[in-house]
Amino acid sequence: MVDDVAAEGAELVAAELRAALERGGAASLALSGGSTPLALYGKLVDADLDWARVHVFWGDERLVPPDDPESNYHAARESLLRHVPIPEANIHRVQTELDEVATVADYAEQLRAFAQADPDCSSSWPLFDVALLGLGADGHFASVFPGSEVECLVPVMAVDADYEGRPARRVTLTPLVFNAARHVVFLVTGGNKAAAVANALGPEQDPERFPAQRIQPEDGRVTWLLDSAAAAELE
């Protein structure tokens, strides 16, 4: 069930971050929005981590103020970040109070600056140790929606979202960034996601209609953590 998946996800994330910390330097985590990961964030509070060296980013953000209940930053702060000793400087939120163009440019610069400090990274975005993703019932992840342009040349973009009445205007990382991650973890629960999961993992390849198929990390791994309801239509 959801709690079991959250517990497994928290253990996986903590293990990956600990492994990164043991390699030396910082550990980096891209957080997902939506409601599914909140239980995982709550369990991550108790993880034994050197938070002083953990850096968090967001896979996407709604263009609302940071204290808005619809803000992914707000949700992560309330469920995780305010409960752990993570330095403010390690919290790389999307600066949604700027105008949209400046918000995108600022986030891209935050990504570049962090990547530059990683001797193993030669791109303008981090090699996230873990990138957490949810999946919409329509098959979207982050704010990468069905029908959107498959080829992307930029790490960050502003998009219009039309999903469950959630805030329309978003900023999202693109597959360029997720596919550079060391480990992408999809966390998906609920029967309303079963068709989207089956399409994403099914034999029919159509990345335009099934955006999660765009997640093909060059060197990294992809793990799908599903409850039985979300996995119900898998062959």
Q: 84 vs 21, 44, 48, 79, 174, CA distance in Å? A: 16, 9, 10, 10, 28
Residue whose C-beta lies closest to ligand 6PG: 134
**Residue 103, interface with ligand 6PG (CB under 6 A)?**
no
Return the closest-CA partner of residue 87 out of 49, 142, 115. Answer: 49
Residue entry with tokens 């971050």? 17
**Residue 41, interface with ligand 6PG (CB under 6 A)?**
no
φ/ψ of 174, rounded to 5, equals: -105, 170
Report, in Å, the least distance between residue 206 CB and ligand 6PG.
Answer: 19
Q: How far apart are the first and last CA of the chain?
A: 20
Report, in Å, the least distance between residue 148 CB and ligand 6PG.
Answer: 13
Task: Between 142 and 197, name the residue whose CB sits nearer to ligand 6PG.
Answer: 142
Report, in Å, the least distance between residue 191 CB and ligand 6PG.
Answer: 12
**Residue 28, interface with ligand 6PG (CB under 6 A)?**
no
Q: How many residues does the structure list for the chain?
A: 235
**Spatial CB neighbours of 58, under 8 Å, sequence gap ≥ 6:** 30, 31, 33, 72, 73, 76, 92, 93, 94, 173
**Residue 136, interface with ligand 6PG (CB under 6 A)?**
yes
Report, in Å, the least distance between residue 157 CB and ligand 6PG.
Answer: 14
Q: In the structure encoding, which two tokens stand for residue 29, read together?
A: 């985590």
- Based on C-alpha coordinates, what's the Rg of the chain? 16
**Residue 107, interface with ligand 6PG (CB under 6 A)?**
no
**Residue 77, interface with ligand 6PG (CB under 6 A)?**
no
Determine which residue in the list 9, 33, 126, 175 makes contact with ligand 6PG, applying CB under 6 A. Answer: 33
Number of residues that bind ligand 6PG (CB under 6 A): 16
List, in sequence order, every beta strand (DSSP E) within the chain. Answer: 27-31, 54-58, 60-62, 130-133, 156-160, 169-173, 183-188, 221-226
Q: Which stretch binds ligand 6PG (CB under 6 A): 31-39, 83-91, 100-108, 123-131?
A: 31-39
Task: Between 140 and 183, name the residue whose CB sits nearer to ligand 6PG.
Answer: 140
Instruction: List contacts with ligand 6PG (CB under 6 A).
Output: 32-36, 60, 62, 72, 134-136, 140-142, 163, 166
